[in-house]
Structure 1
Amino acid sequence: MKKIIFFAVVMVSTVGFCQAKIEFKDKENTIDYGTVSKESDSGERKFEFTNTGDQPLVITNVKSTCGCTVGSKPSAPIMPGKSDFITVKYNMNPGPIRKTITIETNAVNVEGGMVALKIKGEVVVKQEVNPLEKKKNLLMEKS
């Protein structure tokens, strides 16, 4: 009986110390797009993270606050000490970008295994210059 109790205590202790932990590279888990135009930017960004624990890190889900932002996760567990990416694609609608992507993991260093990632910035409409207007401006500059 003492052997069974000892074995149970060892197993519980081992499980308590073996944990997956996630750390993101980006400051405050935020990527700033800056000011971009739909014509010159795909809207795709990558959040780099590392498993700093001693057990495999499993990302079970990636959820966005709206349909305009899509996230994709690694399909395999991330081994201890290894890095990977969460890819986020914004649809580049003109206007301010303020979106949150929620990552569900087995990480113990974040509350409930949930991590909030944020994207911010502004998408502007690229102004097209009329070729006749451009020529007129060039002529006025020469005079």
Structure 2
Amino acid sequence: MKTIKISILALSLGLMSFSTITKSEVKTVTTITTSSVSWKSELIDVQEIPQNKPKSIDFEFKNTGKTVVIITDVKGSCGCTATSYTKTPIQPGATATVTATYNAANKGAFSKTVTVTTNTGETPTVLTFKGTVI
């Protein structure tokens, strides 16, 4: 008798765990992140520059998305390249700049990079500048 009561209780609890959800109770949440960074140019050829005289190279981009873009990190590929960038949030439709300042110690051809990370979730962008030190 005791086992029958336990079985009925278990069966009742098992059936109560199944419930139906009407269509009106189901809510779908869709999040669309449409931040996008559109660079004017990811490669700049500075041609010839003088030795031991810093040269600034400006990389400009536009926020073509619908949400704010924030630059979270900018790194030059070597100690000879200093970087600066727009530190304020870039609103949709606005433009911003990443500046690389290269101080060449050696003569000859060069190619340097600057890696830019933003809050967009996109992979970091690698910007390149090249030229010849005379």
2:92 maps to 1:56: no
- 2:37 aligned residue (22, 44, 65): 22
Aligned to 2:16: none
Aligned to 2:130: 120
State the alpha-carbon separation in 1 of the partners of residues 99 and 70 from structure 2: 16
Question: Mind listing any 5+ residue stretches in structure 2 that lack a counterpart?
Answer: 1-20
Q: What is the TM-score when the length of structure 2 is the normalising length?
A: 0.74
Amino acid in structure 1 at the alignment position of 2:100: V
| 1:95 Cα offset (Å) | 2.3
State the alpha-carbon separation in 2 of the partners of residues 96 and 117 from structure 1: 17
Q: How many positions carry a matched residue from both structures?
A: 112
Q: 1:65 to 1:42 in 2, by over 3 A?
A: closer
Amino acid in structure 2 at the alignment position of 1:100: T
Q: What is the TM-score when the length of structure 1 is the normalising length?
A: 0.70
Aligned to 1:100: 113
Aligned to 1:66: 78
Larger-gyration structure (1/2): 2
State the alpha-carbon separation in 1 of the partners of residues 125 and 25 from structure 2: 38
> After the TM superposition, which segments of 4 or more aligned residues of structure 1 sit over 6 Å from their partners?
1-4
Equivalent runs, 1:27-46 vs 2, <5 Å: 29-38=42-51, 42-46=54-58
Partner of 1:66, secondary structure, is coil
Aligned to 2:87: 75
State the alpha-carbon separation in 2 of the partners of residues 5 and 89 from structure 1: 55
| 1:4 Cα offset (Å) | 7.7
| 1:5 Cα offset (Å) | 5.0
Q: 1:95 to 1:55 in 2, by over 3 A?
A: same
| 1:21 Cα offset (Å) | 0.5
State the alpha-carbon separation in 2 of the partners of residues 123 and 107 from structure 1: 36
| 1:92 Cα offset (Å) | 2.3
| 1:97 Cα offset (Å) | 1.8
Greater per-residue helix proportion: 1
Amino acid in structure 2 at the alignment position of 1:68: C
